Chain A
Amino acid sequence: METSRPVIVKRVPESLNLKQARIFLEEVRPLLEHDRPQLVFDLSLVRKIDAAGVEMLLHCMKEAARRDGDLKLASLSPQAQVVLDITRTGRLFEIFATSADAARSFSGYLPNMVRQFHSSPVREADRGRKVA
């Protein structure tokens, strides 16, 4: 089942400190206020991210979830991956290798657990990449 709502891919800036996180949050706030927002944050450019940046990501996820939407992360740079790992927040997000994979994942209706039973080898490969 395809959803008709758009998936918005937003590229996160290179530095995600307190100041930049606030600016970015102001940019994405209108997107978060939609009904059931479907957002993908592309973190491929991120070189510096601190606790404020992580808080901002969590805040966005919370806001999206509050409106029955979802926020997914894609193309994480090694720097972002390490910071999400050490702050234990990486496990809270769905993380994909590319933005396209993340956007495609919104189109599925079935929950992941159910989808595992119907997955093809190609999807398995995708899942492997997602975990990596």
Chain B
Amino acid sequence: MGLGVHKGANQSAHVVTLSGYSLRGIRALVLVGGRDRAERFGESPLALLDVLGRSVLMRTLDRLRAAGIGEIAVLSDTGLPPHPATVSCKFDVASPESLWEEALHRFRRLARRSESVLVIRLGAWAEVDYAAMVDEHRQSGAAVMRACSRWGEALDIFAVSSINQSEAAALLRGELRDNRLRSAVHITNGYVNMLTEPACLRSLTLDAFACESEIRPCGRELRPGVWVGKSARIHRRARIVAPAFIGNYCNVHSAAVITRGSSIEHHSVVDCATMVDNSNVMPHTRVGAGLDVEYSVVGFKQVYSMQRNVTVEISDPRLVGTVGSHLSARVHAAGSLLFNQLPSALLQWIFADDFTPETTQTETLKAVGVSKNALSESSIAPIDSQTKSYTEMAATRRYGNE
């Protein structure tokens, strides 16, 4: 009898099979997308987006490999990001219309050489004990077994018997939603995040920081709670407050603040004096200078605000832009920026003596309604020392309600 042991969710868990029942003869078909538009951010399915340095897809493949699954095929309805050569899987892309037919085709090919096939749609991040599930499926004798979370949420993870291919065909043609099928249920006690909307990426990140899931940040723990990827550049005046993650090749500029479980994924740039608070910055994203990014998922020229529950497209690169995915594109962008700013910097340097600021602080205060008498009464000194000027502004304004 197989005994799949799943270590507690709060530990650095991994699947250990004590039964000796090998999953080497089991194949896995991993599908990405094929469903709701809500499961995407930008044009990319949430499963393909990085969470603390590695995407949900790659982490799922790691788990399947760790469980000892022999052959894995990945089929997606959108272009897959470049994957490391170490992941020995078959990656294929199908059009959204033909995804399920292609999936059935792949399933039949995998089923020829194994007794059962795991069909996984991403979808959710679920820490299912695959060995225990396959073992339970084998003992139940059911054609299809579906994984469910301990709260009863049905997951798109199925163990399908290779013998009964008509059931598999109905399942895949019904886009894994066919309720007519009678499938056995495997209850998993592992961590589950349904990843139905961009906000779920945020909760997944926070749960990973809190060690509630198996996900661990990819990078070196520079100091407790702060992980930094390779070749990341952090300005000495930037402030990183734990827990936080800075991905590979990221650039955090001067006076930027990264705080409250924020995650900056690889090749991203956080410009000067920008605060990233409780947010995820997607790969290859440039967050402009002096911004306040709170409770958001930022990337692909979009901002998803969790407070407003809305995704906003931003076309202004001064706010949110993209960083080229290729080195040549990044060098070209840096060069053009230098050529744009160099002439004005030179002019400013040459005519530095003539340069005077357009308005002084006193003039600005006058402009917003502080009368001259009030300024003299309250004396100019506190304005420069920035002590009680704001309360005085409120009290001495002659008109209006502020």
Contact = CB atoms under 8 A, between A and B. Distances in A.
Interface of A: 17, 36, 48, 50-52, 62, 65-66, 68-70, 78-79, 81-83, 85-88, 94, 105-106, 108-113, 115
Contacts of A78: 305, 308, 310, 312
A68 B305 contact: no
Instruction: Pick from A82, A105, A110 the residue with the most CB of B within 10 Å.
Output: A82
Given A70-B402, A82-B308, A85-B292, A111 B394 contact: yes
B166 to A, nearest CB: 48
Q: Which 8 A-B pairs have the closest CB atoms?
A: A50-B316, A78-B310, A65-B368, A82-B312, A66-B367, A51-B318, A88-B292, A79-B312
A112 B319 contact: no
Nearest to A81: B308
Given A78-B310, A111-B402, A112-B402, A83 B319 contact: yes
Nearest to A15: B315
Contacts, number: 79
Contact of A70 (B293, B307, B315, B400): B400
A110 B367 CA distance: 20
Nearest to B287: A86
Contacts of B294: 85-86
Interface in B311-342: 312-316, 318-319
Interface string B271-302: 00000000000000000101111101000000
Size category, B interface: 20 to 34
Contacts of B315: 17, 48, 50
B367 A65 contact: yes
Contacts of B369: 65, 68
B147 to A, nearest CB: 36
Nearest to A105: B401
B74 interface: no
Interface in B360-402: 367-369, 394-395, 397-402
Contacts of A70: 400, 402
Contacts of B257: none
15 contacts: A48-B313, A48-B315, A50-B318, A50-B319, A51-B288, A51-B316, A65-B367, A70-B402, A82-B303, A86-B293, A86-B296, A86-B319, A87-B291, A105-B401, A113-B394
Contacts of B293: 86
Given A52-B316, A86-B294, A111-B394, 8 more contacts: A50-B318, A51-B319, A62-B367, A68-B369, A70-B400, A78-B312, A110-B401, A111-B397
Nearest to B274: A86
A110 B307 CA distance: 32
A88 B316 CA distance: 16
